[in-house]
Chains A and B, each alone.
Chain A
Amino acid sequence: MKAELKRLADRASEEGLLDVAYTTMDSPFGPLLLATTPRGLVRLGLPNQDSERLLEDLATRVSPRVLEAPPQLDEVRRELDLYFEGRLTSFDLPLDWQLTDGFRARVQRAIAKIPYGQTSSYTDMARSAGNERAVRAAGTACGSNPLPIVVPCHRVLRTGGALGGYGGGLPMKKALLRMEGVLA
């Protein structure tokens, strides 16, 4: 049955019927869920997030044509593997931003520009998004980032250097910052 299902996913993709392709991959923090549309990576689920719920959410908000199709995510997996090995400092992946909009989207695009090994603050992100005083909203925007790691919200800290929060849990935020040489 495995071969039949693989063939089905391939044919669905050829015929433009594969709106969301997903797979899971191992990472040093546990399994990650990766989901892409024909436009680009649309969702990255962290190990502590419920994959089934993320897939249901994609079915509702993007399209119910959601299929497990690992080959569609080969390049994403390759870059993430290199990143976790410390051999890649900047992702070169097409992203699909459709799960976010308005102020949140502007904050997340600002986060995407923070370079490897550097940090920024929620205030900076609020300013970049065009409303310096919306610090709390910027924090919420970080928390609702659909593409963590690739859009590095772990590089956003509180003004003064306190860690703030992280969707994948604080230990993961610390480990990522340590890996990038920001934390000792």
Chain B
Amino acid sequence: MTGRLIHDLTDLPPFQALLDEHSADVMGVLRGAVGRGDAEDCFQETFLAALRAYPRLDDASNLRGWLLTIAHRKAIDHHRANGRRPVPVAEVVEVGVTDPEPVDGIWSTIGALPPKQRAAVALRYACDLPHAEIAAALGCSPEAARRSLHEGMKRLRKELA
């Protein structure tokens, strides 16, 4: 039990350090997962959820993986909410989308992948995460993460060929 006690006293770094080190990666993953326009909202939701849970976090050994897990869940929530949200209207209002960066090219192809594959590819190539961390972020086994990544890459190669 002594080990557990010592572990409880493991100091969490100031939350600002997590922002300084990982906010760019989290934003990168979210842009890949939900697109540029919605990434900002998911970013806020991700870090607010992280802040809420942070003082009770008892394993500070992989804070980046922890943040990316939350980001991944927020992206899934976002997709679910969007799936439920279509509202019938008499007239469809045209809304301009401001997107200063080109969305064609490889990211739009990645964006069209199924969610797990898309997340795996983004985590691997945008964030340079090893398989084990991708698995942690996606909440699946390393084997399943490898499979998602493999399937995603296979599809990408086919699409881009």
Contact = CB atoms under 8 A, between A and B. Distances in A.
Interface of A: 1, 4-5, 7-8, 11-12, 15, 17, 20, 22, 55-56, 58-60, 63-68
Contact of B55 (A1, A15, A63): A63
A55 B11 CA distance: 12
A22 B17 CA distance: 13
B51 interface: yes
What are the 8 closest A-B residue pairs judged by CB atoms, nearest first? A66-B14, A64-B12, A59-B14, A17-B51, A55-B14, A60-B11, A68-B16, A67-B16
Contacts, number: 59
- The residue in B23, B43, B51 that gathers the most chain A C-beta atoms within 10 A of its C-beta is B51
A67 B19 CA distance: 9
A120 to B, nearest CB: 35
Nearest to B40: A4
A68 B55 CA distance: 17
Given A8-B48, A12-B51, A65 B15 contact: yes
Contact of B11 (A4, A17, A56): A56
A70 to B, nearest CB: 12
A64 B44 contact: no
The range of chain B's interface size is 20 to 34
B48 A17 contact: yes
Given A12-B51, A17-B48, A64-B54, A5 B19 contact: yes
A55 B27 CA distance: 25
Contacts of B17: 55
Contacts of A63: 55
Contact of A11 (B19, B44, B54, B55): B44
A4 B19 CA distance: 11
Contacts of A55: 14, 16-17
Nearest to A59: B14
26 contacts: A1-B27, A4-B40, A5-B23, A7-B44, A8-B47, A8-B48, A11-B48, A12-B48, A12-B51, A15-B48, A20-B14, A55-B14, A55-B16, A55-B17, A56-B14, A58-B14, A59-B13, A59-B15, A60-B11, A63-B55, A64-B15, A64-B55, A65-B54, A65-B55, A66-B14, A67-B15
Interface in B1-60: 11-17, 19, 23-24, 27, 40, 43-44, 47-48, 51-52, 54-55
Contacts of B16: 22, 55, 66-68
A49 to B, nearest CB: 15
A154 to B, nearest CB: 28
B50 to A, nearest CB: 10
A151 to B, nearest CB: 23
Nearest to A60: B11
Contact of A4 (B14, B27, B54): B27
A11 B155 CA distance: 40
Given A55-B16, A64-B15, A67-B15, A1 B24 contact: yes
